[in-house]
Structure 1
Amino acid sequence: MFTLRVDAETVARTRFSPSPASESLAWLKLTAAAGRHPVFGDPGPLARAALAHPDVALLLGLLPRVGDVYTPDLLTPQPGTATRPRDLLDEQIAQIEATAQDDLEDQVFTYTEAHWSRPLPAEARRVAESGRMPRRLAAGLARFWRDALAEGWTELHSIIEQDITHRAQTIARHGVGGVLGTLHPDIGWAGDAITFAAAWDGEIDVAGRELVLAPGVLSWPGFAVQVDVPDQLVLYYPAHRIGTGRDHRPGKIAQVVGAARAALLADLETARSTAELATRIGYAPGTVSYHLGALHRAGLVSKVRDGRFVLYQQTPQAVVLLDEA
């Protein structure tokens, strides 16, 4: 059993927050493993296309594989207190980019060597030693988020907020301890400690530290605790009632199309230009161009130049996805 020993100050400083960075890494790992989420299904072509970007590949190289038990804390900074979801992500990206070199080397070199069953990828070591790793990891997270999750985040954030509301109601009735003992079947509350039924034993005193409880949707149904860096204490737990028959449609986020891209794809049975699509759909030309670029990289639209215009049209793969939606 693993134990976090807490005090009154820790309990008083406990708060809830989504962690866009953690959700992104969960989706990235699932994508790279060619897996399917138990509720949201296949990560989809846009997520897979993002793997080809070198900064995303660098980020992936620092994630644990089967048998590994450590993720560098710098990849999932403790969420701040921003109220807008995009601001939360921007804050986390900025924290990754600001990682000090000595902290990075401790986590990327020392801790992975102690906790991984495989050596650090040579490319990751080279980039870490060059001092450019924080900037590239931040860029990789931003890129994967943009291509694979941005369109679906409103739905995911809504689920997370519903969980936080549910937990707040539990606190109102039963106190903070009443929540800490109900986050997961393997997480318990002992009055002065949070206990975890884990494969490893140990105890860490986190008295006086701020604890963030982060509901997980794409990381569902697992839990994790982040404790190595003193000011980065986070407990990730599965959001309430995911996968219990509520209105979560597996194909929706799995295809990672979203309303904007679905509307564009549906209107591309006939080849059309960016300007024509902007007029028909009602989006700004720049927004249309951005979405078309992502869809083209994923192989969902083709493009061909016709005089002064570039015309876009559904590919056969897109037709199949639309039929399944």
Structure 2
Amino acid sequence: MIRLEFGVRTLGRTRLSVSPVAEAVEWLKLVADGRRHPVFGDPGPAARGVLRHPDVALVVDLLPPAGRDYTPDLLTPKPRTGSWKEILHTQIAEIEATGQDDVDAQVLSGLQKHWGRPLSPRVRRLAESGRLQPRLAAGLDRFWHEALHDGWPSLQSVLDDDIAGRSKIIAEHGVGRMLSEVHPRAGWSGDALTIDSRYDITLDLTDHDVVLTPTVLNRTELMFQLDDAAQVTVYYPACRAGVTGRRDPAELTEVVGTARAALLADLGVARSTAELAGRHSVAASTVSYHLGALHRAGLVARHRDGRRVLYRRTRRADVLIDPS
């Protein structure tokens, strides 16, 4: 379990932002692995061709091998405020200005620790000499402009839609509600963001701002960077609302089944398993089974209230019920 302890000042400085560089890193992972994106398809010859550039190849050397998930945080600086163009410019500049201590910790020591294999000789040579940072910045900048620039408007529209929807949740229900619904693996305890994870980490973020960043090119995973409290960023899959009209209940039943559709319809407010069992006249174990499936699908969020665990529809489920 990862526990990010906010405090009042941190909660007041929590914000949502796009990260052009993070999207570039996700796209680069897919291109380097020779895979197709399930939505956007084949990356295309331009994206594959730019892999031959030596600076882009250096970035690829820092991407996690199969079975590993650690990527050095220095590749994805926390987004600052501003337009996406300003954010991109600042992120590239911050990569170039990365301190040598961070390179030592995240590259020279971190990759060996997390990947269990030695660095490539060229990465080690550049990292030890202090020449790695500008090469990585140039590589990501080149890859973004040659492989992602033309498709950015379509990605940006989804990211903007997600941020607008979550901003509405904050306006109507508060930051805590938004945090509790950001991903099925995440929850809000009242003073901390908790994340289901194989890592056991507690991080005090007092006096630091936290950025939550929607991603389009990573469609399912909740990701986080925690190497440096000042750089903490949580990445979650963006959710885009549908186009028009409230979904017919019969259609929803076809999507999730009768029992789960009924539970979803009743979870506009937070309810416990026992309460739902009583309201729907079914066994608590049956309700728990269905809630587990809905939670894994990202359609309900859960949080602890004393000894009770409460469930509520997520925005993704709201869109399923009412796409307007």
Please give the range of the TM-score, normalised by the shorter of the 2 chains: 0.7 to 0.9
SS at match of 2:116: coil
Structure 2: any 5+ residue segments left out of the alignment? 245-324
Distance in 2 between the 1:207 and 1:51 partners? 40
User: Partner residue of 2:166?
Assistant: 167
CA contact (8 A) 1:77 1:96 kept: yes
Q: Aligned partners of 1:198 and 1:107: how far apart in 2?
A: 20
Asked if the contact 1:223/1:235 (under 8 Å) is kept, the reply is yes
Structure 1 residue 210 and structure 2 residue 209: aligned? yes
1:75 aligned residue: 75
Match of 2:17 in 1: 17
Residue pair 1:4, 1:205 contacting (<8 A) in 2 also: yes
Q: Runs of 4+ in structure 1 displaced over 4 angstroms? A: none
Change in Cα spacing, 1:117 to 1:245, as seen in structure 2 (3 Å) is farther
Q: CA deviation at 1:207?
A: 2.1
2:74 is paired with a residue of what secondary structure?
Answer: helix
2:6 is the alignment partner of 1:2: no
Asked whether 1:32 is paired with 2:32, we answer yes
Which amino acid counterpart does residue 134 of structure 1 have in structure 2?
Answer: Q
**Paired position in structure 2 for 1:126:** 125
CA–CA distance in 1 between the matches of 2:159 and 2:80?
Answer: 15
| Preserved CA contact (<8 Å) 1:27 1:218 | yes
Match of 1:198 in 2: 197
2:184 partner SS: coil
- Verify the 8 A CA contact 2:9 2:207 in the aligned structure 1: yes
Inter-partner Cα distance in structure 1 for 2:21 and 2:79: 9
**Other structure's SS at 1:219 match:** coil
Question: Structure 1: any 5+ residue segments left out of the alignment?
Answer: 247-325
3-state SS of the aligned residue for 2:236? strand
Alignment of 1:41 with 2:35, yes or no, is no
Secondary structure at 1:66 match in 2: coil
Which amino acid is 2:51 matched to?
A: L
Q: Is structure 2 residue 230 aligned with structure 1 residue 231?
A: yes
Q: Name the counterpart of 2:97.
A: 98
1:61 alignment partner in structure 2: 61
Q: Is contact 2:47-2:143 (8 Å) kept?
A: yes
Q: How many Å separate the matches in 2 of 1:180 and 1:117?
A: 34
Partner residue, 1:257: none
String of CA shifts for 1:164-209, please: whole Å, max 9, x gaps.
Answer: 1000000011100011011111111111111111122232222221
Q: Does 1:115 align with 2:118?
A: no
CA distance in 1, matches of 2:55, 2:243: 37
User: 1:67 touches 1:117 (CA, 8 Å); kept in 2?
Assistant: no
When normalised by structure 1's length, the TM-score is: 0.72
What's the RMSD between the two structures over aligned residues? 1.6
Distance 1:8 1:227 in 2: 20
Residue-pair matches, total: 244
Supply the AA of the counterpart residue of 2:150. E
Length-normalised TM-score, structure 2: 0.72
Given that residues 225 and 233 in structure 2 are in contact (C-alpha distance below 8 angstroms), is that contact kept between their aligned partners in structure 1? yes
* Alpha-carbon distance between aligned partners in 1 of 2:221 and 2:240, rounded to the nearest angstrom: 13
CA distance in 2, matches of 1:209, 1:100: 19
Partner AA of 1:218 in structure 2 = L
CA offset at residue 106 of structure 1? 1.4
Q: CA deviation at 1:133?
A: 0.6
User: Aligned partners of 1:37, 1:192: CA distance in 2, in Å?
Assistant: 37
Kept after mapping to 2: 8 A contact 1:68/1:117: no
Contact 1:213 1:237 in 2 (8 A): yes
> What SS does the corresponding residue of 1:4 show, helix, strand or coil?
strand
Which protein, 1 or 2, shows the higher relative CO under an 8 Å CA cutoff with sep ≥ 6?
1
CA distance in 2, matches of 1:234, 1:184: 14
Q: Contact 2:112–2:118 at 8 Å: present in 1 too?
A: yes
Aligned 8 A contact 1:225 1:234 in 2: yes
Alpha-carbon displacement from aligned partner over 1:73-128 (angstroms, at most 9, x marks no partner): 11100111112x22211110000011112221111111112211322222111111
